[in-house]
Structure 1
Amino acid sequence: MRLIHFCSAWLLLVFIPRGCHGGNILVLPAEGSHWINMDILLEALHSGGHNITVVRSNKSWYIKEKSSYYNTYTVQVERNLDQEFITKIIFDYIKFERGAIPLTSFLNTAVGMIGTIVDVHSTVGELVSAILDDKELMRILQDSKFDLVLTDPSWGHGVILAKYLNLPLVYNVRWLIAGEAHLAIAPSPLSYVPITGSGHTDQMTFLQRVKNVLLQLINLIQNQVVVKLVYQKLCDKYLGSDIDFNQLMLDADIWLMRVDFVFEFPRPTMPNVVYMGGFQCKPAKPLPEHLEEFVQSSGEHGVIIMSLGTFVSELPSDMANEIAATFAKLPQKVIWRYKGDRPATLGNNTLIVDWMPQNDLLGHPKIKLFVAHGGTNGVQEALYHGVPVVGLPLFFDQFDNLLRLKERGAAKLLTIQTVDKDNNFQDAIQEVLNEPSYRLNMQRLSRLHRDQPMKPLDTALFWIEFVMRHKGAAHLRTESYRLPWYSYHSVDVVLFLAGAVLLVLFTFVFFIRCLCTKICRSKVKRE
């Protein structure tokens, strides 16, 4: 009898409809390290039974055409954002920063990059045109009956295609064209919400708040220039002149934000923003045999790992030599991801590699310190595994990422202008290694990050499936961004109320004046 009941229950579970059947998802990814994040999400979606289709260019260097968990459509383009282009910009930027005075550096970063940013997004615009002008491809995409578009809005191509196909839109997001995504969708008082690139915390002096406002104005200008020169033209051509790209960009159903409030400073948010910071992090796997032998040979001193990210393949030779000489003086073993010429001062304790399993190394108990450039993935992996950081930021958001760890007592922050001067690099390493508070603070952050009701990746999958089940999430979207700025900030209401008050005061003064005049006239007549 029990067997019959068991079989009945099993059949019931098998044939009960699932909350979300396998969906059909169209993906428009961004290149570079952004794809690393998207790829992890796609693999998890595929494991959940969903069909994934990726649209890529024939010149893509990160997004592979063949995969076991997604299908691809490859679009022919003349040019694309490639690794050589990015690497050259970064190397020139490093050389500039090492000789720049602060004001020059600030102006170069904030203003001088506008032309480069427009050029990058122009290549994305060419990809959009190639997709939408391909009639056969568009017929296939329309006939495929996709449930939603998943895209990274640091590029604007997915936004336009989602509107063209009239599909719900989900973002895997941190950046939005020329700025940080929070600033576009949520109320962001500049008095305590630091702009990326400002190098400030949420506690700013008056002059820092002035700089914060100026940076936001520059970001808005950059965004408007890119939108006007690239994306609005595409909207006018393919969607109609009545479609405003800025509003279209903010009309996504769900924003899967690649940060959380263990890492980010507290700030206002919105109901359709879902935080999945650290979703790419996972327990460490065993190291390759040669790396495990090297790590174990460190004895009680442990290992330091250093990586400056995918795009920084080399450093100026004098800087690389200074870093190598510092490592050579340490009792720890060092694993350094570096593709440049072998530094002349390299010590026997340092292993140079072209690639390393960063997450698996950070999760190894022998790892004592991570020397990092401050990319989001590396910072969150260090936080997840509780490894303190010596930060060497180079560009974009890296300084701000490391600053958040520094403010929480889990990192020491250097700059490329000072890293090879006055033993700064060596002193920073020794301080983080020898002062227990750095490791204790990072381990505390790790515990906070892991203490969640759902894993960040599971949270992301739930909300993607939520949009598929309900054909969108319009009830979570605010209408505030459709308001003109003067209505959003109630400037018109303030002016109306001020006018009403002035009218009442004017009427009262006029009445008193008339009364006084009448009294005076009566007094004169009596006299």
Structure 2
Amino acid sequence: MVPTSLTGFLPLCVCLLLTPGFAEAGKLLVVPMDGSHWFTMRAVVEKLIHRGHELVLVMPEVSWQLEKSLNLTVKSYSTSYTLEDLNREFMVFASRHWETSDLDLFSLLTGPTSTFLEYFFSHCRSLFNDTKLVEYIRESSFDAVFTDPFDLCGLIIAKYFSLPSVVFTRGPFCHYLEEGTQCPSPISYVPRGLLGFSDTMTFRERVWNQVFHLQERLFCGILVKSGLEIASKILQIPVMAYELYSHPSIWLLRTDFVLEYPKPVMPNMIFIGGINCNQGKPLPEVSYAFFSRLRSPGFGCEKTTPD
């Protein structure tokens, strides 16, 4: 839990970091997650570059959406799989889920499609196998790690190099957000996200909320199992998920508190709603004459006369 003396300090640091002219430029190590998660993180990365911060992006050579076109330093590392391997395993993972509607999540994660999850987490092992890159990170004196907590690699890097970390996420990932931030979330009062209950649950709904929470803990443990095994080998100590998710200094939640269930919020949890999507393009201009033609008789329909 964040000390009481830091209650107003962490939000102030973030405001100064994102406000031009009020803070000295920092040096951030960006460890993104591939796929759609990169779209919104990219917008923040571009803004930080524009405001004078020095950013270094660390990414695997094999990826779907990560790109090297940004105006920043990019450090890439080789992986044990090719793009064709990644695409094939993802298609197996997705097809098994959609083609078998009665398949539960546990079977989905523990079946043959678990190879995809191994690929997903194994890139962090490849990063630490690159001794030159590891030495570069150690000698570069980064101020913090900016990462997506769904991908454990950024959290592993922050813990390995004893760096503060700022995580950027849409919302709770399983129960790890509440545990990592020590944020109270009583099961009897706060529904789990996927159930769709209101914050005034009946007794039956509260019981089901508890059962779902227990299932969630089992599911999440299976989901991150291979990632934790890799983390344990890298850090050379047994690692639990709580140890990684309790390390971040600041949680940037790209949602709005009015969309969440009523519950306490820790000082290092900052809502930054409004950047959860790509910037929309302006609508095309339509002249008044166009609508006048639509409203005129005979346009798009036949004019009828009474008998």
TM-score (structure 2 length as normaliser): 0.75
Which residue number corresponds to residue 111 of structure 1?
106
Q: How far, CA to CA, are the matches of 2:238 and 2:196 in structure 1?
A: 39
Listed as ranges, the gaps of 5+ residues in structure 1 are 1-16, 98-103, 302-330, 332-527
User: In structure 1, which of residues 39, 60, 63 is the aligned counterpart of residue 66 of structure 2?
Assistant: 63
Tell me by how many angstroms 1:128 deviates: 1.0
Q: Are 1:209 and 2:209 counterparts?
A: no
Provide the secondary structure at the position in 2 that maps to 1:262.
helix
The CA deviation string for residues 385-418 of structure 1, in whole angstroms up to 9 with x for no partner, is xxxxxxxxxxxxxxxxxxxxxxxxxxxxxxxxxx
Cα separation, partners in 2 of 1:112 and 1:263, compared to 1, 3 Å = same
Cα distance in structure 1, aligned partners of 2:89 and 2:286: 37
Q: 2:32 aligns with which of 29, 32, 38?
A: 29
Does the C-alpha gap of structure 1 residues 159 and 138 become closer, same or farther in structure 2, counting only changes over 3 Å?
Answer: same
Q: Answer whether contact 1:110 1:218 (CA < 8 A) is retained.
A: no
Residue in 1 that maps onto 2:80 = 78
Deviations 1:259-288 (Å, cap 9, x if unpaired)? 21222222222111111122356985434x
1:42 aligns with 2:45: yes
Distance 2:258 2:118 in 1: 36
Correspondence for 1:240: 236
Please list, as runs of the form range in 1=range in 2, the aligned pairs for 1:309-458 lying within 5 A after superposition: none
- Whether the 8 Å contact between 1:65 and 1:74 is mirrored in structure 2 is no
**Contact between 1:180 and 1:196, CA under 8 Å: does it hold in 2?**
no
Go from structure 1 to structure 2 and tell me whether the alpha carbon gap of 1:282 and 1:132 turns closer, same or farther (over 3 Å shift): closer
**Shift in Å at residue 177 of structure 1?**
5.7
Please give the alpha-carbon distance, in whole angstroms, between the structure 1 residues aligned to 2:57 and 2:239. Answer: 25
The one-character-per-residue Cα deviations of 1:424-455 (angstroms, maximum 9, x if unpaired) are xxxxxxxxxxxxxxxxxxxxxxxxxxxxxxxx
CA contact (8 A) 1:32 1:62 kept: yes
Higher-helix-fraction structure: 1
Q: Is 2:184 the counterpart of 1:158?
A: no
By how many angstroms is 1:299 displaced?
7.6
Q: Secondary structure of 2:217's partner?
A: helix
Matched, 1:200 2:197: yes
> What's the C-alpha RMSD, in Å, of the aligned pairs?
3.3
Q: Which amino acid aligns with 1:46?
A: I
The 1:126/1:93 distance shift into structure 2, 3 A limit, reads: closer
Give the conservation status (yes or no) of the 8 Å contact 2:254–2:271. yes
**Partner letter of residue 58 of structure 1?**
E
Between structure 1 and structure 2, the one with the greater Rg is: 1
> Mapping of 1:169-208 within 5 angstroms?
169-174=165-170, 178-179=174-175, 181-182=177-178, 184-185=180-181, 186-208=183-205
Q: TM-score of the superposition, structure 1-length normalised?
A: 0.46
Distance 1:159 1:269, change over 3 A: same
Q: Say whether the 8 Å CA contact 2:29–2:55 is kept in structure 1.
A: yes
Q: C-alpha distance in 1, partners of 2:122/2:246? A: 22
Aligned residues: 271
Return the alpha-carbon distance in structure 2 between the equivalents of residues 159 and 204 of structure 1. 35
Displacement of 1:204 in angstroms is 2.1
Gap change, CA 1:299 and 1:119, over 3 Å in 2: farther
Which of 278, 289, 295 is the equivalent residue of 2:274? 278
CA contact (8 A) 1:182 1:269 kept: no
* In the alignment, structure 1 residue 259 sits paired with structure 2 residue 255: yes
Task: Determine the C-alpha separation between the residues in 1 that align with 2:293 and 2:35.
Answer: 37
Q: Classify 1:130/1:95 alpha carbon distance in 2 versus 1 (closer, same or farther; 3 Å).
A: closer
Supply the AA of the counterpart residue of 1:208: E
Gaps of 5+ in 2: 1-19, 295-299, 301-307
Structure 1 residues 37 and 83: CA distance shift in structure 2, 3 A: farther
Moved over 6 A (4+): 298-301
